[in-house]
């Protein structure tokens, strides 16, 4: 960060606790400016609200550094809520971390094409009691002709400790330049536990028997139902910027998460 006083925008989750803390400790700290005029966004809430705020930046095509203050449960993408009066100093000392999102191009059964981006992961999930049957291609080559499963996901390093970890996928260091391809309750092939891919890979999922076995695609918090095909690759031209207090950076927490029992 520069020594010049940054213009700050305050984004607050609708959650009651976040609203209360903002009113008591943050709203009167500075002359906050609207997001479109700010140099840094201060985001009060949890990981879900941080993702929501980052997606709003992607949608608006104006991306600025985001400093999160955890008022949620896990707060993996956030900093601790402490000493609000030293907020400006902490932002000045913060470490910058660039996050590359996934670009998703999905075609639905009616032929419509939809484009979303995901910061954590894109997951394909069965919509009914019928198991999904999904062909998995990497760089245009079929790697699994038919994955019979509840679903499958592709995760960025930033999202590898979220749904991917719950599905028994690998934790990826932020600078690994890798993606995690992880099945969700796979029935066939029974022993396939997923794959780790270079982040330059293009991954395609083709839904077999889509009318009988409908599948939805979820890019972080956005769901698209009845997909027929989903193409995924890293969006290198639009990095997102997170700010972390020294010693509290996301990459350190990703390493630490691997030693939690």
Q: Please report, for residues 15, 51, 178, 247, the alpha-carbon distance to residue 48 in angstroms, rounded to integers and kept in the order given.
A: 11, 5, 23, 22
Alpha helices (H) along the chain: 16-21, 47-60, 87-93, 163-166, 250-257
Torsion-angle region of 159 (φ positive above 0: left; ψ -120 to 50: alpha; else: beta): alpha
Cβ atoms within 10 A of the Cβ of 125, count?
A: 17
CB–CB of 254/76 below 8 Å?
Answer: no
Of how many residues is the chain composed?
261
**Separation CA 160–CA 173 (nearest Å):** 9
Q: Which two tokens stand for residue 25?
A: 């400790």
Q: Which two tokens stand for residue 43?
A: 């985001």
Per annotation, catalytic residue among 47, 61, 199, 226 = 47
47 is catalytic: yes
Q: Is 84 helix (H, G, I), strand (E, B) or coil?
A: helix
State the pairing for strand pair 8-12/40-45: parallel
Catalytic residues: 47
């Amino acid at each position: 960060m520069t020594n010049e006083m940054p213009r700050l925008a305050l984004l607050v989750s609708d959650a009651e606790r976040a609203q209360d803390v903002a009113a008591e400790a943050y709203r009167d700290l500075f002359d906050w400016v609207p997001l479109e005029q700010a140099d840094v966004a201060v985001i009060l809430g949890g990981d879900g609200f941080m993702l929501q705020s980052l997606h709003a930046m992607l949608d608006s095509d104006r991306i600025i550094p985001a400093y999160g203050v955890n008022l949620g449960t896990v707060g993996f993408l956030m900093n601790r809520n402490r000493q609000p009066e030293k907020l400006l100093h902490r932002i000045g000392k913060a470490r910058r971390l660039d996050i590359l999102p996934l670009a998703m191009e999905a075609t639905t059964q009616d032929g419509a094409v939809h484009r979303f981006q995901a910061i954590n992961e894109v997951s394909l999930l069965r919509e009914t009691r019928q198991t999904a049957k999904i062909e998995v291609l990497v760089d245009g080559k079929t790697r699994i002709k038919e994955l019979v499963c509840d679903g499958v996901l592709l995760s960025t390093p930033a999202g590898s400790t979220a749904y991917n970890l719950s599905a028994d996928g690998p934790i990826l260091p932020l600078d690994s330049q890798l993606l995690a391809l992880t099945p969700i309750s796979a029935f066939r092939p029974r022993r396939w536990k997923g794959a780790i891919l270079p982040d330059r890979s293009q991954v395609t999922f083709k839904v077999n028997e889509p009318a009988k076995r409908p599948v939805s695609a979820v890019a972080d918090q956005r769901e698209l139902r009845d997909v027929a095909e989903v193409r995924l690759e890293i969006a290198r031209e639009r990095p997102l910027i997170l700010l972390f207090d020294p010693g509290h950076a996301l990459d350190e927490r990703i390493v630490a998460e691997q030693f939690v029992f």
